[in-house]
Chain A
């Protein structure tokens, strides 16, 4: 796994959400890309219009799809399972799943599907292994809020907490290779990868089958 130093200088705009900006920097220009759960199209908009990516999106909400179409993007409404199933193998160079992993019913299946329809996957997720989360559970006995997903356990949509270590274990179970990793804390890239499960609030991985 290569560290942060290998990345080209940031050229995504400061207005892009910090984790999206990290993802944008991991994506080479001009590739074919599918954004799963693309929301209002912030990331796709940047990639399509600034990095000449041939992008597609899948988004569940009507508001999200309308916002994406307004940005001039090609997006289909629906859930990820259905959407992914429609694409032939290797339809994309990259498939992106940003901050959506905790909400999936069947994360392992989505991961396999991502690497079926795409050569590489890029996944970002909030890390409940972060030290404050651990302290919250230890000291207060409460289910912790992940700093990058400040949503109570009872608020929809339902989520499942996971940690950096959990994700690495899953990737090993699925024989998925982690090609690149970026860790973030408080919206900034963390300069090192040691103690990542303790210090990262969001982890970003590039994966391949």
Chain B
């Protein structure tokens, strides 16, 4: 039995496009066909005005809420915030989440078959950008028959996609919620990405990305990349709280090179775990996409990218202990959006959880997001959005 606050059992769906007309990427390269894995929760209303697109972060997937099977140990990656009565209330909104281009959870990426060779793309896949990921999402939204999303929301790399939507697909959304993110990947972020990539390149099993038919994959490199990632998602304070200097499974130092501290054990566990669920080449593609992200281009200022996006309502959120995407990144966004006279609400949520806070500060986020979405709905429609009675036959079936 799934709890009443869960969207229940869900299924990943697939949308394929650009079979005839190739999909042109920012780099100039083309891709054909393109597939996006996606999931939806809740019911699209008759005028298709209640759709919210959720954008995932680096290692996320389309599986944002609910479970794929009754005995699933883990629910979707943002199950805390998506479901009946939650921040993104599926009793009222139709929530969509799709896996990004370049990832390894069903969308076109290095693990998928290259139609030209019949083998996985590997590094034959052209490099993709956040702009490409979002343009693919636009195609999905077109296919679902939605002219305008009520809201696009996401944290970290998901937040970059939100900003890309707002800056370059302005008329396709009413509201944007970028969380713990940036309008421009900083040199520190690029440096951290590069350490992860170098760990993968240095793994002898990486084989220049051509390892899919080999018995061993570049797991060691990918695990190190993930460990670096995990450090950046925590904070000095959260590591003190979570691990302290406590030892794992022992009382005193062994004076040997084994995993001794709890924090080491945590990193090792998560690094290894990650190799079972993520692909090393995808890690390269997705981190590279983030590094290229810079909304100060081509005008030279962030405000320049939002000049035509002032009609969108923004909720910008940062977290006090997030040193990966520190508050100043969000403040720069607020400054730029204020300069173009956009309606922008901003909160720097007090939290010790570092970058991970956007997934963990559920209570504050729920209050904030629900209030913000409720207000927008009332402003647009003059009355609150009622719960949708899903027992009634649907007026329209998405994508038909």
Cβ of A190 to closest chain B Cβ, rounded Å: 37
Q: Which single residue of chain B is at the shortest CB-CB distance from A54? A: B343
A78 touches B346 (CB 8 A): yes
Question: In the bound complex, what is the Cα–Cα distance between A71 and B368 (angstroms)?
Answer: 11
Stretch from A2-10, A84-92, A119-127, A175-183 at the B interface: A84-92
Cβ of B321 to closest chain A Cβ, rounded Å: 14
| Residue A191 interfacial (CB < 8 Å) | no
Given A72-B374, A76-B334, A88-B339, A66-B368 contact (CB < 8 Å): yes
Given A66-B364, A69-B372, A72-B375, A87-B338 contact (CB < 8 Å): yes
| Residue A188 interfacial (CB < 8 Å) | no
Question: In the bound complex, what is the Cα–Cα distance between A189 and B364 (angstroms)?
Answer: 39
For A65, the chain B residues whose CB sits under 8 A away are: 345, 347
**When each residue 365-382 of chain B gets 1 if its CB lies under 8 Å from chain A and 0 otherwise, what string results?**
001100110110011000
Question: In the bound complex, what is the Cα–Cα distance between A57 and B346 (angstroms)?
Answer: 10
| Residue A36 interfacial (CB < 8 Å) | no
From residue 64 to 98 of chain A, which have CB atoms closer than 8 A to chain B? 65-66, 69-70, 72-78, 82, 86-88, 91
| Residue A105 interfacial (CB < 8 Å) | no
B contact residues, range: 20 to 34
Cβ of B70 to closest chain A Cβ, rounded Å: 37
| Residue A62 interfacial (CB < 8 Å) | yes
Which secondary structure dominates chain B's binding surface? helix
Q: Which single residue of chain B is at the shortest CB-CB distance from A77? A: B347
| Residue B341 interfacial (CB < 8 Å) | yes
For A62, the chain B residues whose CB sits under 8 A away are: 347-350, 364
Q: List 25 A-B contacts (CB under 8 A).
A: A65-B347, A66-B347, A69-B345, A69-B368, A69-B372, A70-B367, A70-B371, A72-B378, A72-B379, A73-B375, A74-B313, A74-B343, A74-B344, A75-B346, A76-B334, A76-B345, A76-B346, A77-B346, A77-B348, A78-B331, A78-B348, A86-B334, A86-B338, A86-B339, A91-B341
B-binding residues in A (CB < 8 A):
62, 65-66, 69-70, 72-78, 82, 86-88, 91
Apart from the given pairs A76-B338, A87-B338, 8 other A-B contacts in the complex at a CB distance below 8 Å: A65-B347, A66-B347, A69-B345, A69-B375, A74-B343, A75-B345, A77-B347, A82-B331
